[in-house]
Structure 1
Amino acid sequence: MPSHLVTIKDTLFENIFNHAPNGIAVMGLDFRWVRVNQSLMDLLGYSEEEFYTMTFPDITHKDDIGIDKEQLGQLLNGDIDRYQIEKRYFHKTGTVIWVILSVSVEVSKDGVPRYFIIQTDDVTRQKEMLKQVTAITTIANIQNERLKDFAHIATHDLRTHLGNLGMITDFMKEELQGIEQNGNFMMLKESLSQLESTISNLNEVRNSDFGAQEQMLSLNLREFVDNAIYNINAIALHEKCDIVNQVSATLNVLGIPVYLDSIILNLLTNAIKYSSKDRRSYVQLSSMVIDDFVVLEVNDNGLGIDMDVHRHELFQFKKTFHQRADSRGIGLFITKNHVESMGGKITVESRVNVGTTFKVFFKRASLGSKGLKIMPHELEN
């Protein structure tokens, strides 16, 4: 290639590298960062010097490291010439950043791999929107199930009353000769017939897809708590909040994996978000068995809630109790719906500027439970 074309190529690469809106980096075969552009530094919050002290696994979510290394190995072996995956990085503050990662390998003239070229496209906002849509869909499904239950009770009771009215009209025919020719009696009989038809139609609607509920599984509570703590540990460190995990490793609960994961994460993030700046903060998680329930207790020494004012609206939709811009009043509403959909309940006690204690009652999984045991790392995140 003529020298002037080499110069143009190098200049073009420098311009793309320095000014691209997406993150671009050069990574060595030892997984150390060789060069990063400003967009990647802005995306993950690390300075250029901080990047050079780390390898890519240092800032990658543990569940994504394996697939990333496997793909890099295929690149080095020449099995593929590029790959693209969806993965999670950790921002310097501990926040999870979702990206579409594209990786290729640069080789020397004799075909020896020299380094990896990495490009990232931030999709965190899309992931958050999808999560909110999923949460809303879940709530809608729960409410739909409750409406079906209501329809079941209502149609059952109406049919009972309809039967009673039918017997009364039969008695009237036997005791009052000629009443069948009475206009009012004929209208009554027709109205009862129409009501029976309406109830039959309601039953047909109610029975469609009735019982299409997700299977309850036997889930190890400690495993899910450990996983949740890992996911928010960097945020806890940033907020100087200690997390004490005293949950028993021997207790299994009956539940839906994504619901259990969401419940624990919501309670932990709330405890950290509303921690007090006036003292060293902590969140303590413990467990106990009460009758047929496993109780998860989440206790903190944060800002607390005025229960005299807010007790009856604590789990309502869009209700907030502290003046924070990021408070949306959705987390506890979703949490309560998840807990109740699994046959449990949630209680709370709180004192302003002292702290809050949530108790979540999960159905205990017996030794003979037919539910499958599933660990949180088996979930698709």
Structure 2
Amino acid sequence: MPKNISLVKDKLFENIFNYAKGGIAIVGMRGEWIKVNDSIVKQLGYSEEELYKISFQDITHKDDLDIDLENMRLLVQGKIENYEIEKRYFHKNGDIIWALLSVSLVRDEQGLPMYFISQIHDISKQKTDRDQLRVMLNVAKEQNSRLASFAEIITHNLRTHSSNLMILFEFLEEESHSLVKDENFELLKESIFNLNETVTHLTEVAKIKSVEESKIEALNLSDFVTRAIYNVSALAKNINCTIINQVDVSARVKGIPAFLDSIILNFITNAMKYRSPNRDAVIKLSSEVKDDFVVFHVEDNGLGIDLEKFGDKIFQMYKTFHRNKDAIGIGLFITKNHIESIGGHVEVKSRVDSGTTFSVFLKAA
């Protein structure tokens, strides 16, 4: 190779070595620093001269030293070609520096080990961020657990008190016939019934929790849809509603049987409840696969929802969008939470006086 080309290559290598953003070092077989670039000097706080007087073992955290030395031994024995580990170095000022260390071995023409090339990237900030995130997640988990316990206690107590009120009211109704005709007594009766209904709803909401992966089963979506259609067949016949089932018989989803039953039944009965008085109700059920999800579509030709007006309120608790006397605004709220608790989500498309399509994304089994 011409001498000038060799010099150019040597200069190029030197520039890459010195000005690389990450730390690069040539380390001897006993762990001594042979050559380091500016990034390592900045990361560790030692000057080049200071580093050349010590070995990497001198500034490695003792808990990380053994795994580093073991990997070096495997490199020398030819059992691995390179390795990458997270390890801690001591900065000159005593601080701990977390680094991502990548190491490879250079051999001579006879295959004998000459030196190690180490790439050292400071990941202290990422480690700190990860640790903070882990702490925050643990705090959130603990808070959620406390809130769940609080909700259970509150709903239990409310249920007890409302039941007692109902029993006392019934005693009064039986024993004091004169009160039955009193207008205030009727108002009290209605308030107690409303309280009981609210407590029932809150109890259902309090039961909704994220589901452990071990409790989720592989379920045949078509079987559950068929059963739901059978359960509403009398109602469908009574209101002259046609249900078209085009769900793939082989579609399998991850879920909890009780949740899946509730989800499907809720959307079908909702479509019936909000049918248009101007035409016979038609509900079309279908499925498709999208990425890791089986999407269950429930399409109707009913009243529809003004999404510009109510789009962000559809799944909120106690929100209703039509003057249906049976509507209380709890079903969609609970259904959405059931869907999300098994790792899915729901989307909605709707046009006023044209119909609504709910698309339920369920994890494919």
What band does the TM-score fall into relative to the shorter chain? 0.5 to 0.7
The code of the aligned residue for 1:116 comes to F
How far apart in 1 are the matches of 2:198 and 2:173? 24
Cα displacement string for residues 159-202 of structure 1 (whole angstroms, at most 9, x for unaligned residues): 22212211221111112227556554444334333322332333
Q: 1:210 to 1:111 in 2, by over 3 A?
A: closer
> Cα distance, 1:43 vs. partner?
0.5
How much does 1:14 deviate? 0.7
Q: Secondary structure at the match of 1:80?
A: coil
SS in structure 2 opposite 1:87? Answer: strand
Alignment of 1:319-358 (within 5 A): none
What per-residue deviation string (whole Å, max 9, x for no partner) do you get for residues 185-222 of structure 1?
4443343333223323333343444999xxxxxxxxxx
Aligned to 2:36: 36
**Equivalent position of 1:200 in the other structure:** 200
Which residue is 1:63 aligned to? Answer: 63
Mapped to 2, the partners of 1:71 and 1:209 lie a distance apart of: 45
Q: Percent of aligned positions with the same letter in both sequences?
A: 46
The alignment status of 1:166 with 2:166, answered yes or no, reads yes
Deviation readout 1:142-164 (Å, 9 max, x if unpaired) = 22222223223322221222122
Q: 1:204/1:6 Cα in 2 relative to 1: closer, same or farther (>3 Å)?
A: farther
Q: Which structure 1 segments of 5+ residues have no match?
A: 213-381
Query: Counterpart amino acid of 2:81?
Result: D
Q: Distance in 1 between matches of 2:199 and 2:41?
A: 64
Shift of 1:17: 1.6
1:245-284 paired onto structure 2 within 5 Å: none
TM-score (norm 1): 0.51
- For the pair 1:114 / 2:118, whether they are aligned, the reply is no
Native 8 Å contact 2:163 2:196 kept in 1: no
What is the Cα deviation at residue 94 of structure 1?
2.0
Could you give the per-residue CA deviations for residues 17-45 of structure 1, whole angstroms, max 9, x where no partner exists? 21122111111011111111121011011
Q: Secondary structure in 2 aligned to 1:89?
A: strand
Q: Which letter does structure 2 place at the counterpart of 1:36?
A: V
Q: 1:16 aligns to what?
A: 16
In the alignment, the residues of structure 2 paired with residue 165 and residue 24 of structure 1 have an alpha-carbon distance, to the nearest angstrom, of: 76
Q: Which residue type is aligned with residue 176 of structure 2?
A: L
Cα gap change, 1:159 to 1:121, in 2 (>3 Å): same
* Amino acid paired to 1:75: L
Q: Measure, in 1, the Cα distance between the counterparts of 2:192 and 2:58.
A: 72
- 1:101 corresponds in structure 2 to 101
2:275 is aligned to: none
Structure 2 distance, partners of 1:63, 1:209, is 40
1:70 is paired with a residue of what secondary structure?
helix
**SS of residue in 1 equivalent to 2:177:** coil
CA–CA separation in structure 2 for the residues paired with 1:16 and 1:176: 97
Residue of structure 2 equivalent to 1:124: 124
Instruction: Say whether residues 1:144 and 2:131 are aligned partners.
Output: no
Provide the C-alpha distance between the structure 2 equivalents of 1:148 and 1:30, rounded to a whole number of angstroms.
57
Alignment coverage as a number of residue pairs: 212
What's the Cα RMSD here? 2.5
**Cα separation, partners in 2 of 1:19 and 1:149, compared to 1, 3 Å:** same
Cα deviation, residue 76, structure 1: 1.1
Structure 2 residue runs without a partner (length 5+): 213-365
CA distance 1:181–1:77, shift in 2 (3 Å): farther
Q: Which whole-Å deviations, capped at 9, do the CAs of 1:290-323 have from their partners, x for residues lacking one?
A: xxxxxxxxxxxxxxxxxxxxxxxxxxxxxxxxxx
2:191 corresponds to: 191
- The Cα of 1:4 is off from its aligned counterpart by 3.5
Describe the superposition over 1:263-313 as per-residue Cα deviations: whole angstroms up to 9, x where unpaired: xxxxxxxxxxxxxxxxxxxxxxxxxxxxxxxxxxxxxxxxxxxxxxxxxxx
Task: Pick closer, same or farther for the CA change 1:185–1:5 going to 2, 3 Å.
Answer: farther
**1:86 and 2:47 aligned:** no
